């Protein structure tokens, strides 16, 4: 059973005095195979998902209680209120949210010039955050595959949150790893989704050039109490082994990898995804990745059950810096169908057609997209040999 460093939930809370924050050891959240829930987590049939009305796992309880305390202590750049939300009319089902404060108050992105840029200790990085921003250290028990290769992951608040419970998963920050996806980081990101009993807890990754704002390895995790189109979008197989699919019916056709849950199948998925992201990084191709509970590949519908984990990978044009004046910036959550909008005017006027146009403007030109697809199919074929 997943347990905190000392089985009391309050071990994730900071002591009352700020002077004690730095002296307090970072608590561990240790989990094993039995804590990873692969099946039975579904959206309620009536209301789609108020966060606090759904069952909580020990992981959810630890994250949410510690995150809520940091809100009360004022450790965020702004106090996140209930965000005005609308489902854009149309076939896609975009979830648009008005988040003015994030657009105004988030930290300015670092200057990035390459998808393969080296880590720079002089720039902002997660070794420079305040002690109170760390919630806990995510650690795996020895019974899990790949444990010998694991990195311990710090779970840190995102001080400019997109939504409730928005955290960063940071593997061993003292190592100074650049923003390039590693197997251990992806493994624990996928397992974080399986540790949660909320169907709307998702994890994602932005590469450099894919709107990562800090060049220090991290993934995002957050709760969104709404279904997203990537959970159930149909797909077509791209390789004979059925390991790689192409999502269909969405503005941004992504590469879909799927696993029913823990075990060799999940380890194989992690290996395939990281081989794909290594290829993209080595060829200076920006990318975004999104992890969510979802339906199996193939013909699906919005009512399809969430039977496993979908990992969706998008190759895209590089974009260095934030584009001002647009309703939203296109990164991991926007490609998945969640649109945090910066201004009230854009929120009230945004249409599905305008959102699709912004997203498709970030996609690779068709010839390059076909080249990438062929290369990834070839990578999957090499694995079969």
Which residues are designated catalytic? Answer: 218
The secondary element (H helix, E strand) that includes residue 92 is: none
Q: Determine the Cα–Cα distance for residues 229 and 336; give it in Å rounded to an integer.
A: 7
Sign of CA dihedral 367, 368, 373, 378: positive
Q: What share of the chain is helix, strand, coil (3-state, %, to 5)?
A: 30, 20, 50
Instruction: Give the CA distances from residue 235 to residues 227, 277, 299, 300, 301, in Å, rounded to whole numbers and listed in that order.
Output: 18, 20, 7, 8, 11
Determine the distance from the C-alpha atom of residue 221 to the mean position of all C-alpha atoms in its chain, rounded to a whole number: 5
- Cα radius of gyration (the chain): 20
Instruction: Give the CA distances from residue 49 to residues 54, 85, 161, 301, 340, in Å, rounded to whole numbers and listed in that order.
Output: 7, 13, 19, 19, 18
Interaxial angle between packed helices 183-195 and 58-72, expressed in degrees from 0 to 180 and rounded to the nearest 10: 100
């Amino acid at each position: 059973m997943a347990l905190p460093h000392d089985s009391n939930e309050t071990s994730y809370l900071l002591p009352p005095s700020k002077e004690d924050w730095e002296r307090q050891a970072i608590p561990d959240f240790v989990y094993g195979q039995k804590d990873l829930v692969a099946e039975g987590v579904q959206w309620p049939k009536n209301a789609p998902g108020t966060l606090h009305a759904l069952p909580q796992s020990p992981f959810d309880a630890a994250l949410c209680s510690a995150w809520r305390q940091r809100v009360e202590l004022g450790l965020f750049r702004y106090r996140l209120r209930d965000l005005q939300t609308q489902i854009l009319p149309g076939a896609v089902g975009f979830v648009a949210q008005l988040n003015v404060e994030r657009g105004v108050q988030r930290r300015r992105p670092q200057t990035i010039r390459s998808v393969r840029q080296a880590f720079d200790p002089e720039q902002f990085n997660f070794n420079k955050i305040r002690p109170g921003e760390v919630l806990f250290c995510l650690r795996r028990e020895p019974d899990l595959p790949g444990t010998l290769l694991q990195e311990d992951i710090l779970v840190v608040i995102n001080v400019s949150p997109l939504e409730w419970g928005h955290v960063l998963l940071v593997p061993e920050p003292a190592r100074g790893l650049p923003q390039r996806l590693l197997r251990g980081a992806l493994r624990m990101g996928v397992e974080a989704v399986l540790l949660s009993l909320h169907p709307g807890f998702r994890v994602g990754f932005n590469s450099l050039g894919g709107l990562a704002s800090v060049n220090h390895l991290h993934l995002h995790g957050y709760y969104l109490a709404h279904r997203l189109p990537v959970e159930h979008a149909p797909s077509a197989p791209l390789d004979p082994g059925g390991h790689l699919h192409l999502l269909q019916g969405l503005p941004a056709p992504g590469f879909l990898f799927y696993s029913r849950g823990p075990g060799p199948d999940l380890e194989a998925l992690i290996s395939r995804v990281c081989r794909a992201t290594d290829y993209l990084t080595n060829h200076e191709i920006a990318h975004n990745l999104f992890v969510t509970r979802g339906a199996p590949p193939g013909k699906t519908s919005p009512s399809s059950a969430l039977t496993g984990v979908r990992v969706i990978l998008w190759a895209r044009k590089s974009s260095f810096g934030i584009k001002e004046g647009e309703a939203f910036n296109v990164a991991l959550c926007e490609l998945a169908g969640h649109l945090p909008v910066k201004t009230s005017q854009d929120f009230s006027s945004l249409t599905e057609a305008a959102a699709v146009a912004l997203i498709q403007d970030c996609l690779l030109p068709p010839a390059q997209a076909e080249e990438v697809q062929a290369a990834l199919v070839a990578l999957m074929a090499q694995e079969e040999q």
